[in-house]
Amino acid sequence: MPELSQKERLQLSLLDRLSDDEPKQKSESRDKRVISVSRLKTLVQRDLSWLLNSVAASANMDFSEFPEVAKSTLNYGIIDLSGVSSIVFSPKHIERELIKCIKHYEPRIIPKTLKIKIIVAEKEMSSHTLSFEITGDLWAQPLPLQLFLKTEVDIENGSVKLNNWN
């Protein structure tokens, strides 16, 4: 197989590049620096899981006087969805907040392609979960990769579970 050009390579996120799983090795092989399409999707799903399972500090603090802090990693996470009900937040409000958060903290998803859809069908909901779909395209060369995740939030404790539908 010919060598991939710089544009065609899929690279790890900064966090993954800075993490050293083998500290005794002095150098990394090409396989460790460049990832496959399936590995990219797995890593994005993992990172989205971390993001969606984190509650933003703005849920408990007022950052109106500190707008830069509100946009920083100090505010990493989403609105608190534990105990959420349609009385507290409308589905459209939750969709907007999730889109804003994912666009800000997950740059590998092409922003204009990101969509969140709250599932409000009675038969697909339980009294203790909130379900939604995340769709979008991941940046990749030569073509973007489609991402489709079914997500369930346990509204009793706020934990989020992502399932890959690709």
pLDDT of amino acid 121: 60
pLDDT of amino acid 1: 42
Q: How many domains does the chain have?
A: 1
For residue 25, being part of any structural domain is answered with: yes
For residue 126, being part of any structural domain is answered with: yes
The 10 Å Cβ neighbour count of residue 24 is: 5
pLDDT of amino acid 76: 94
Domain limits for position 117: 6-164
CATH code of 150's domain = 3.10.450.40
For residue 59, being part of any structural domain is answered with: yes
Give the HSE-up count for residue 131: Cα atoms under 13 Å, Cβ half-sphere: 12
For residue 1, being part of any structural domain is answered with: no
For residue 134, being part of any structural domain is answered with: yes
Cβ neighbours for 47, distance < 8 A, ≥ 6 positions apart: 13, 15, 106
Instruction: Examine the pLDDT at 25 and tell me if it is beyond 50.
Output: yes
pLDDT of amino acid 24: 80
Q: Is 13 exposed, middle or buried (0-12, 13-18, 19+ CB in 10 A)?
A: middle
pTM, rounded to two decimals: 0.81
- Mean pLDDT value across the chain: 82
